[in-house]
Structure 1
Amino acid sequence: MNLANIPHPGALVSKKKKAFIGVPAPLGYVAGAGRGATGFTTRSDIGPARDATDVPDDRHALSKSKLASKKPSQSGKDNEQEVEDDDEDLNDANYDEFNGYGGSLFSKDPYDKDDEEADRIYDSIDKRMDEKRKEYREKKLKRELEQYRQERPKIQQQFSDLKRDLARISADEWNSIPSVGDARNKKMRNPRAEKFTPVPDSILAHNVSLSNETVTSIDPLSGLKTVISGTSTGLLSSAPSHLDLKKIGQARNTLMDIKLNQASDSVSGQTVVDPKGYLTDLQSMIPSIGADISDIKKARLLLKSVRETNPNHAPAWIASARLEEITGKLQTARNLIMKGCEQCENSEDIWIEAARLQPPDLAKSVIAQGVRKLANSSVRLWIKAAELEKETKAKKKIFRKALEQIPNSVRLWKEAVELEEPEDARILLTRAVECCPTSVDLWLALARLEVYENARKVLNKARENIPTDKQIWFTAAKLEEAQGNLSMVQKIIDRALNSLQANGVEINREHWIQDAIDTEKSGSKVTAQAIVKSVIDFGIDEEDREHGWLKDAENLANFEAFECARAVYANALKVFPKNENIWLQAAFFEKNHGTKESLESLLELAVVNCPQAEVLWLMAAKSKWLGGDVQAARQILSRAFDVNQNKEEIWLAAVKLESENAEYDRARKILEKAREKNSTPRVYMKSAKLEWQLGNLSRAIELLETAINHWDDYPKIWMMLGQIHQQTDRINEAREIYQRGLKSNNSNIALWILLSRLEESEGALIKARSVLEKGRLKNPKNDLLWLEAVRVEIRAGNKEIAMPMLSKALQECPQSGILWAEAIFLENRQQRKSRSVDALKRCEHDVHVLLACSLLFWCERKMTKAREWFQRTLKLDPDLGDAWAYAYKFEILHGTQEQQIELKKRCIQAEPRHGEHWCQVSKDIKNWKLKIGDILEIVANELPIPN
């Protein structure tokens, strides 16, 4: 049976053609997928059947643009025929052996529906990604634009500084600026164009008068219009015969002035218009708030919602009023806050805010309403009411009423007492302590106003009512000290400590010491010392007492609480009477912050308790000597000899005492005894130096040669012997002495430098260099030898050699402050600042670097900075004499006489002993009798002004 001959069931039902037959399927349509049908495979199929998710067959259909461009199909032809019309022409006539078939390569449109849908998807993705990157892209563009503007600024930005300078140009300078000529070239000034000559006004006026036209003219004085006809007849014949354009312009300006005056004098207007300054006034109108208007509206809505939700919430009304105040609507703010006062009448904050927003007259009435509502509970309203009054009498009246309503308010009592006279205040305080018995301030204020006997009673009552407060005890001790009862002060403080501990009060050592500092600054020194003595041993371990007490004394001295520090030292010496270190620290403290009598009395006790301490004997003798009592100094040294047999320091101190007082024979005898009983190289050196100072060079050489035979490893002997030979022009002997000394003292830098300078003074620059190079080989990484080598080249005028040598020195000694200081001033003026920054990074706390920076500020004429850095330098190392000399020279040139005297006094007290320029003067044998003040002036005068 042939299945093809069986008709379809649908054909039997209806032979009418359906509307969708022959119509292309929709995009993405799969037949049967809606009812769950799937494909199947038969024997005749080559491959698998179509899956439900396969792409439809019309995915390569023509695009809409292509379909629209095609002509409509004829009747009787189907879609397949239309597609076949677009097929390529494959006839032999259209074929070429070289080019192939003719026709356009792009005649067919490859753009199909899938491409169109993909383009839409990609466009949406690109749009989404573009929105995400928009903010970043805008920021990047803005940043690149700013960088571009910085690299290529506009002309107006380049000349902005010159524009600012134009504001200071006077009128005469403006008038003296020459006029700019015609900058055009000849061709531009004389173009080859047709030239026109304007017609004179007389011809135009004559033609107008001949015509029948009417001319309207304006009177420049009145601004009224006048109509002139072409026929000059009657009254109009007196009109001018020609038009004056200048007068027309004047008339126009006059008419404008008339209109502006009329507008400014208008009665209906509320303001007067300034035609000249109108735009300027608009520019000066700066809004009072910089917030966004939308933010203000949002805040209003939020606060309104809070007020409506909880009308009894006072902060909401206050915030609303302040918002309106900020936006400039002061009346609205006042209305809101007054409405809030009605809703929240028990809130003192809202009444105070309402008084602040109201004018002074209305503020009083607002506060009065608030006081009536909260008379028994609000202290702030009473105080605000008193502040609004201007007269003292009215304020007193308000406080009296307030105290009737709230008698237990300490703040009200304090405010009321401050307005009263002492006698009335005392009466008022008597009532105040009854109402507020737990207020320490009121008890203490009453005690200050009472006489001595009544004050003691008041303080006793205060201790009964407040047994846990230490200030009452301190006040009682101050009272006894003021009355001269010094023995009672320590008893009161000790009793206070026991009472407070009994009442469970924790004793804080740091707080008590701070109270002692405050007490001393208030003038009660004995009470301060008593407080320190009572708690100095509180809460500290026994093994840490010595270190802790010395640290406490140092801190108190830094706070300028000298009496408290003195009490700490006294307590430490009482516990450790044989400790030499504590006696020495106390002696230095008295030397710096005490008097001559206190220092001598302390040293007298020190030598009794520590007789073996040489330094204490020497300080005691020096104090007597500086005070002018030479005999007492001799007696102290004699006692020191008895206790300390054959002590080198005591021998040399006795020699210095006699030599400073011109007792040279006694000094020689003391030195002779010292050489016999205590033969040391230093004693021989001091003996030779005394003979050298007195001019007895042969005796000095003899003593030095004797010392060399016994102590050839003592470099100062070689140095002195070489300098004596050099002084007497025996250069060869001096050179030999230095060379012999270096054999046994090759690590002594001073000997290498002396030998180098000797060769340099003789003109042997190469030998000087070789000596320093040999010294650097023996003593590597020594900054002094490198510095001397650099200065040898500078003195020889070889700066181009000195610069790389200094760089090499800094590589070998990167932490040397003296090399960095030399490097700063070896640079050009423009590079010194950057060099100083590098020096401070490497050696921030080096005195030479700080001194170089001070001199650098001096060179730049920054006097205040230079003085500050000089003070930092002197504080860091007061033993550097060069720093004192430079600072003194600076004060001589740029300071006052008081500053010079104060600096010189500090220098004498510091007794500096080091420094290149300082030692050149102080160790010169000619200046051996000079004092420190004299040396300071000589060095300061010899120092060059930095440039």
Structure 2
Amino acid sequence: MAVPSASMSTRNKKHFLGVPAPLGYVAGVGRGATGFTTRSDIGPARDANDVSDDRHAPPPAKRAKKKEEEEEEEEDLNDSNYDDFNGYGVSLFSKDPYDKDDEEADAIYEEIDKRMDEKRKEYREKRLRQELERYRQERPKIQQQFSDLKRELVNVSEMDWKNIPEVGDARNRKQRNPRAEKFTPLPDSILSHNLGGQTTTSIDPSSSFSSPGSGGGMLTPTGDLDLRKIGQARNTLMNVKLMQASDSVEGQTVVDPKGYLTDLQSMIPTYGGDINDIKKARLLLKSVRETNPNHPPAWIASARLEEVTGKLQAARNLIMKGCEDNPMSEDLWLEAARLQPPDTAKAVIAKSVTYISTSVRIWIKAADLESKIEAKRRVYRKALKLIPHSVRLWKAAVELEEPEDAKTLLSRAVECCSTSVDLWLALARLETPDNARKVLNKARENIPTDRQIWTTAAKLEEANGKKHMVDKIIDRAISSLKANGVEINREHWFKEAMEAEKSGAVYTCQVIIKSIIGVGVEEEDRKHTWIQDAETCAQQGALECARSVYAYALKIFPRKKSIWLRAAYFEKQYGTRESLEKLLQRAVKHCPTNETLWLMGAKSKWLANEVDAARYLLSLAFQANPNSEEIWLAAVKLESENSQYERARQLLKKARELAPTPRVMMKSVKLEWALNNLDAALNLVNKALEKFDEFPKLWLMKGQIEEQKNDYTAALDTYNQATKKCSTSIPLWKLLANLERQINQISTARSVLDRGRLKNPKNPELWLESIRIEMKPDGVRNMAHALMAQALQKFPKSGILWAEAIFMEPRAQRKTKSVDALKKCEHDPIVLLAVSKLFWCEHKITKCRDWFNRTVKIDPDYGDAWAYFYKFELLNGTKEQQQEVQKKCIAAEPHHGEEWCKVSKNIANWVLNIEQILNIVANELPIPI
């Protein structure tokens, strides 16, 4: 007897032996066993959670029956148990019959579901398209990211293509260091030995062209092999054949050997689609033609299919067959004429006229096929005999005639087509003024519902110097059109006024505007509607129409300051200096308390070097607006700009006595500071701060004056006091941080900016200043990147942060960063300027210019964009482009921008104009790298 091994005993050992029982385990409970309990153990009744006692189980027969019932209740997956509506299983109504009423009801519900699905289909598809577009914008394909680089491949020369290295495996040493292949030609003797010894150069006609190793070889060993002579013989034979093919019977060359293959290439069909698709389309169209031969589009489609595939003759045959089956279809005849050569097309059109003699399109095609003017005229005259009521034929015929003949032809045309406005107007233009009036009167009798006839009559009277008749004609036109049931549409009449202005009839334009400007406008909406009408006219270049609208609006609302201001800005942009000053003179009479109107008039006089007239206007403005801060400061600026510093001091002194405002005090300090009277400026600013200690610009000026005097300790105290009084002023925090960095350490500057950010948690400029301090040589660049990440999380829409973040990245990652910046700040001028500089770094001149134009268009007041644009044109543009940028910048008068304000706000440059500031800023700007 074999003793069981240790491994076998281990394998047979039960895994639960020696292991404590799990929580809640009752031995034998799975087999129905229960513990022995008494009533004293469990109380008067059995616990609901106790194990069931199956000692009194039902008899086996009942248990079997119960088991069968449970099995029947299980799902029956037989095909006989399948129902179309409920699937496998028993339904509530499975035993009921399915009659026609049920079928009809189901059909109705199905139609309702389809209808509801169709209603939602458009919305669902639109939403899917929007989601797909949003997804593509957020995650563009690699193909889209490199589309601009692909477009630049057109600039790659052929030599550059050839010099592109082959792609190889860098791990393979042979591919990394390839060796030049060497080819050594074999001598003829070796070739002759390999062919089996001696051969002959003659060919046995009975022999076949088989290989030397086959049964019937074509070479016989009779002589020595000379491969060079074989090649010469082959070339001679080819030349003979080409000469024979290239010479005709007369001895002239009719075939170009060099261009022979090119001609063969031109005979290949140019269609690049699948040939199977062509066959399918051909069969389908053939079926359509045979099923309904009287359907012209089938014949046209078949002919065009053959034309596309290069079988032009088959197309012509098909279309002519279609014309035979459908001789009354003008589309078929026109298509046939198009496919035929010019001479044959004339015959086709002539044949079509015999079937359809009243087709205007066929007659026009017949005239187009003629090359001579006289022949065209004959065709049109013959056509007009058959179709005298066709306006299109009359117009085409008149265009070919001389003025005198055209007048005669138009006289006949208006008789045949008396309802054509164009023909009446064309005849009126060719007639003399007196006859033109008669023609227009006849036109009004025949067509009483057209406004163009009335406006043409008004323009005619204005051209003849009878302006008093223009008002009568326009009034009669409106009343006559209303009497004939024509609705007076403001948009249509505005278009007529614009057309009158383009034709030079300015008075007619003004009368039309005056007559219809109030039509269909509610009384409370007049001001808003008229201003909108004027702006629309100005945008479309109809300046006289816009002036007429403003003139009428000012006549109705002479006390409305907003209309006077809009009219003044319009004249400033589109008009002359004289028209602006004339308007402003009227404006200040009606609105004498409006300071802006007075200041615009004074500035216009000052720009025209009429300083005395500007002073006189400002004195009148003082009388109308005593103690006005704006007028005081305008007078001070006028005197200081003209170097009348003493008069400016006196004006400021009087202003401080009569109207002591913070701005007046600031201008007083600035004047003394600009004239380098630093002590007087400090005394003034200290007095001003006693009254206006919450005006941040006074603190800024005091600190900068003390810095200029090299009193950095006093400046530091000033800035510290200022940040307590004016904690929301960002320039104060920036100046304090920069001064702390210069005097003390960078850690002190960091703490200053931290305090500033705590006081101004929603301002990104202080975050940007902290980042820039860390980017300096004594800063920590890693800390700068960490601060930038935090700042972008707090301010994801901040353009100044994104613009800085683009150039903080390595060159290879800047483009990706710029895409993210544009997604977040699409219309931010600072981000657009950063993208422009990015294209400048990549030497993409055209794109860079486009982005600069986009930047200055979005925000013309952003001076940094103009300065960078001007520097870009100085380096890459022509003189005309440089002057254009300079001119636009002077017109825009920018005031903002970090680099721009460094120069414009510098007290040493206080008398410089826009052009001078632009040149200084552009020269100081670094070239982007």
Q: Shorter-chain TM-score: which interval?
A: 0.7 to 0.9
Match of 1:873 among 855, 858, 861: 855
Instruction: Give distance in 2, aligned partners of 1:457 and 1:199.
Output: 104
How far has the Cα of 1:479 moved from its partner? 2.1
Instruction: Give distance in 1, aligned partners of 2:381 and 2:681.
Output: 93
The yes-or-no answer on 1:694 pairing with 2:694 is: no
Conservation of the 8 A alpha-carbon contact between 2:836 and 2:849: yes
Match of 2:489 among 483, 488, 508: 508
After superposition, give the CA deviation of every residue in 1:287-344 in whole Å (9 maximum; x if it has no partner): 3556776766666666666666665554455455445545555444444444444444
Q: Which residue of 2 aligns with 1:721?
A: 702
Match of 1:844 among 814, 820, 826: 826
The yes-or-no answer on 1:358 pairing with 2:340 is: yes
> Aligned with 2:225: secondary structure?
helix
The yes-or-no answer on 1:808 pairing with 2:825 is: no
Instruction: Give distance in 1, aligned partners of 2:256 and 2:663.
Output: 97
Aligned pair in 2 of structure 1 residues 420, 617: CA closer, same or farther (>3 Å)?
Answer: same
Aligned pair in 2 of structure 1 residues 335, 709: CA closer, same or farther (>3 Å)?
Answer: closer
Q: Which residue of 2 aligns with 1:218?
A: 201
Gap regions ≥5 residues in structure 1: 1-149, 151-159, 171-176, 184-196, 206-214, 227-241
Conservation of the 8 A alpha-carbon contact between 2:501 and 2:509: yes
Q: Which residue of 2 aligns with 1:180?
A: 181
How far has the Cα of 1:674 moved from its partner? 1.1
The yes-or-no answer on 1:793 pairing with 2:794 is: no
Q: Which residue of 1 aligns with 2:914?
A: 932
The yes-or-no answer on 1:558 pairing with 2:542 is: no
Aligned pair in 2 of structure 1 residues 485, 826: CA closer, same or farther (>3 Å)?
Answer: farther
Alignment of 1:633-648 (within 5 A): 633-648=614-629
After superposition, give the CA deviation of every residue in 1:349-386 in whole Å (9 maximum; x if it has no partner): 333333333332232223223223433x2222222221
Aligned pair in 2 of structure 1 residues 346, 640: CA closer, same or farther (>3 Å)?
Answer: same
Q: Which residue of 2 aligns with 1:247?
A: 226
The yes-or-no answer on 1:368 pairing with 2:350 is: yes
After superposition, give the CA deviation of every residue in 1:111-142 in whole Å (9 maximum; x if it has no partner): xxxxxxxxxxxxxxxxxxxxxxxxxxxxxxxx
Q: Which residue of 1 aligns with 2:573?
A: 592
Instruction: Give distance in 1, aligned partners of 2:242 and 2:603.
Output: 96
How far has the Cα of 1:483 moved from its partner? 2.9
> Aligned with 1:662: secondary structure?
coil
Match of 1:821 among 794, 803, 817: 803
Match of 1:745 among 700, 709, 726: 726
Q: Which residue of 1 aligns with 2:553?
A: 572
Q: Which residue of 2 aligns with 1:901?
A: 883
Match of 2:690 among 709, 712, 719: 709
> Aligned with 1:394: secondary structure?
helix
Conservation of the 8 A alpha-carbon contact between 1:218 and 1:248: no
Match of 1:662 among 640, 643, 660: 643
Match of 2:380 among 382, 395, 399: 399
Normalising by structure 1, what TM-score? 0.72
Q: Which residue of 2 aligns with 1:442?
A: 423
Counterpart of 2:762, as a letter, is K
Aligned pair in 2 of structure 1 residues 396, 791: CA closer, same or farther (>3 Å)?
Answer: same
> Aligned with 1:802: secondary structure?
helix
Instruction: Give distance in 2, aligned partners of 1:300 and 1:694.
Output: 92
Conservation of the 8 A alpha-carbon contact between 2:669 and 2:685: yes
> Aligned with 2:701: secondary structure?
helix
How far has the Cα of 1:523 moved from its partner? 3.9
After superposition, give the CA deviation of every residue in 1:452-490 in whole Å (9 maximum; x if it has no partner): 222222112111111111121222222233334344434
After superposition, give the CA deviation of every residue in 1:826-885 in whole Å (9 maximum; x if it has no partner): 111111111111111111111111111111111111111111111111121111111111
Aligned pair in 2 of structure 1 residues 889, 524: CA closer, same or farther (>3 Å)?
Answer: farther
Match of 2:900 among 902, 911, 918: 918
Aligned pair in 2 of structure 1 residues 263, 786: CA closer, same or farther (>3 Å)?
Answer: closer
Deviates more, 1:454-463 or 1:246-255: 246-255
Match of 2:590 among 598, 601, 609: 609
Aligned pair in 2 of structure 1 residues 273, 525: CA closer, same or farther (>3 Å)?
Answer: closer
How far has the Cα of 1:551 moved from its partner? 2.3
Match of 1:426 among 397, 407, 412: 407
Q: Which residue of 2 aligns with 1:451?
A: 432
Counterpart of 2:479, as a letter, is N
The yes-or-no answer on 1:758 pairing with 2:739 is: yes
Q: Which residue of 1 aligns with 2:10?
A: none
Deviates more, 1:932-941 or 1:258-267: 258-267
Instruction: Give distance in 1, aligned partners of 2:921 and 2:257.
Output: 74
Counterpart of 1:874, as a letter, is V
Aligned pair in 2 of structure 1 residues 549, 200: CA closer, same or farther (>3 Å)?
Answer: closer
Counterpart of 1:366, as a letter, is V
Conservation of the 8 A alpha-carbon contact between 1:218 and 1:224: no
Alignment of 1:471-510 (within 5 A): 471-510=452-491
Instruction: Give distance in 2, aligned partners of 1:259 and 1:796.
Output: 80
Instruction: Give distance in 1, aligned partners of 2:549 and 2:534.
Output: 6
Instruction: Give distance in 1, aligned partners of 2:621 and 2:228.
Output: 113
Instruction: Give distance in 1, aligned partners of 2:718 and 2:242.
Output: 108
Q: Which residue of 2 aligns with 1:98?
A: none
Instruction: Give distance in 2, aligned partners of 1:642 and 1:311.
Output: 93
How far has the Cα of 1:166 moved from its partner? 8.8
Match of 1:632 among 613, 626, 632: 613
Instruction: Give distance in 2, aligned partners of 1:711 and 1:252.
Output: 107
Conservation of the 8 A alpha-carbon contact between 2:685 and 2:698: yes
Alignment of 1:507-546 (within 5 A): 507-546=488-527
Counterpart of 1:885, as a letter, is A
Instruction: Give distance in 1, aligned partners of 2:191 and 2:320.
Output: 78
How far has the Cα of 1:901 moved from its partner? 2.0
Aligned pair in 2 of structure 1 residues 838, 225: CA closer, same or farther (>3 Å)?
Answer: closer
How far has the Cα of 1:662 moved from its partner? 1.4
Aligned pair in 2 of structure 1 residues 397, 758: CA closer, same or farther (>3 Å)?
Answer: same
After superposition, give the CA deviation of every residue in 1:703-723 in whole Å (9 maximum; x if it has no partner): 111111111111111111111
Instruction: Give distance in 1, aligned partners of 2:331 and 2:227.
Output: 70
Normalising by structure 2, what TM-score? 0.73
Counterpart of 2:699, as a letter, is W
Instruction: Give distance in 2, aligned partners of 1:166 and 1:697.
Output: 66
> Aligned with 1:633: secondary structure?
helix
Match of 2:370 among 359, 369, 389: 389
Conservation of the 8 A alpha-carbon contact between 1:264 and 1:272: no
How far has the Cα of 1:614 moved from its partner? 0.9
Gap regions ≥5 residues in structure 2: 1-142, 144-152, 165-177, 207-220
> Aligned with 2:812: secondary structure?
coil
Deviates more, 1:448-457 or 1:296-305: 296-305
Aligned pair in 2 of structure 1 residues 439, 759: CA closer, same or farther (>3 Å)?
Answer: same
Aligned pair in 2 of structure 1 residues 631, 764: CA closer, same or farther (>3 Å)?
Answer: same
After superposition, give the CA deviation of every residue in 1:704-761 in whole Å (9 maximum; x if it has no partner): 1111111111111111111111101111111111112222111111111111122223
Aligned pair in 2 of structure 1 residues 751, 292: CA closer, same or farther (>3 Å)?
Answer: closer
Instruction: Give distance in 1, aligned partners of 2:239 and 2:182.
Output: 38
Instruction: Give distance in 1, aligned partners of 2:190 and 2:356.
Output: 91
Larger Rg: 1
Counterpart of 2:201, as a letter, is I
Q: Percent identity?
A: 60
